[in-house]
Amino acid sequence: MIPPAVAISAVVSSFLLSLLALGFTFQYVTLNVPNLAYSTIAFFSTYITLTFALFKFTPYLSVPVSFLIGGLISLMMYKFLSVLRRRGLSSVGLMIATITFDLGIYAFMNIYADYIAYTLKVYTRSFILSDYDFRLGEFPGVLFVSMITAFMLTMVFHLILTRTKFGMSMRAIMENESLASTQGVNVDSVLSTSWFLVGGIAGISGSLYPMWFSMDPWIGARMFISIFAACVVGGLRSIYGSMLGGFMIGLSEVLVTYAFAGLVGGWIWWYRSVIPMIIASVAILIIPNGIAGLIENFKRR
Partner 1 sequence: MPLETLILDILTFFCIYAIFTMSLNFQMGYTGIFNLGLYLPIIAGAMIVAYVPNRLAMQIYNITGLDFIENNAIVITQLREHLQRDPTTSMFLLLITLLLVIIVSAIIGYVVAHPALRLPANYLALFTLCIAETGRVISTQTYWIAGGPVGIAIIVPFWWLPNPYYGTAIFTILVSILIFLIYIKLSNSPFGRVLKAIRENQDTAESIGHNVSLIKKEVMVISSIFLGIGGALHAFDMGAVIADGYNRVDFSFWPWLMLIVGGAGNNVGVLLGTFILVLMRRIMITSKHYFASFLPFDVIWLEPILLSIMLALTLIYRSEGILPEKVTKKKKTE
Does 139 contact partner 1 by CB under 8 A?
no
Nearer to partner 1, 134 or 269 (CB): 269
Nearer to partner 1, 40 or 154 (CB): 40
Of 264, 285, 300, 301, which one interacts with partner 1 (CB under 8 A)? Answer: 285
Does 287 contact partner 1 by CB under 8 A?
no
Does 2 contact partner 1 by CB under 8 A?
no
Of 6, 51, 72, 104, which one interacts with partner 1 (CB under 8 A)? Answer: 104
Residue 215 DSSP code: B
Alpha carbon 41 to its chain's center: 9
SS3 139: strand
Please give the angle made by the CA atoms of 134, 139 and 145, to the nearest 5 degrees: 60
Site for partner 1 in 24-83 (CB under 8 A): 28, 32-34, 36, 80, 83
Residue 290 contacts residue 236 (beta carbons within 8 Å): yes
Q: Which amino acid is at 218?
A: W
Interface region with partner 1, contact rule CB under 8 A, candidates 55-63, 94-102, 198-206, 251-259:
94-102
Nearer to partner 1, 10 or 33 (CB): 33
Does 232 contact partner 1 by CB under 8 A?
yes
Number of residues this chain uses to bind partner 1 (CB under 8 A): 50
Residue 201 contacts residue 66 (beta carbons within 8 Å): no
| CA–CA distance, 119 with 51 (Å, rounded to integer) | 12
> Any residues with CB less than 8 A from the CB of 250 and at least 6 apart, and which?
10, 13, 14, 15, 16, 17, 18, 226, 230
Does 115 contact partner 1 by CB under 8 A?
yes
Long-range (24+ apart) CB contacts under 8 A made by 254-263 are 254/6, 254/9, 254/10, 254/13, 254/14, 255/2, 255/6, 255/10, 258/2, 258/6
Shortest gap between Cβ of 215 and partner 1 (angstroms)?
Answer: 16
Interface region with partner 1, contact rule CB under 8 A, candidates 7-15, 115-123, 134-142, 185-193:
115-123
Residue 132: other Cβ atoms inside 10 A: 19
* Beta partners for residue 136, in sequence order: 139
Shortest gap between Cβ of 264 and partner 1 (angstroms)?
Answer: 14
Does 266 contact partner 1 by CB under 8 A?
no
Residue 217 contacts residue 43 (beta carbons within 8 Å): no
Of 4, 58, 91, 164, which one interacts with partner 1 (CB under 8 A)? Answer: 91
Does 228 contact partner 1 by CB under 8 A?
yes
Of 4, 64, 79, 118, which one interacts with partner 1 (CB under 8 A)? Answer: 118
Phi first, then psi, for residue 139 (nearest 5°) are -105, 145
Shortest gap between Cβ of 273 and partner 1 (angstroms)?
Answer: 5
Does 229 contact partner 1 by CB under 8 A?
yes
Of 57, 114, 148, 188, which one interacts with partner 1 (CB under 8 A)? Answer: 114
Residue 143 contacts residue 8 (beta carbons within 8 Å): yes
Question: For binding to partner 1 (CB under 8 A), which residues are involved?
Answer: 28, 32-34, 36, 80, 83-84, 87, 89, 91-93, 95-97, 99-104, 106-108, 110-111, 114-115, 118-119, 218, 221-222, 224-225, 228-229, 232, 236, 270-271, 273-274, 277, 280-281, 284-285, 288
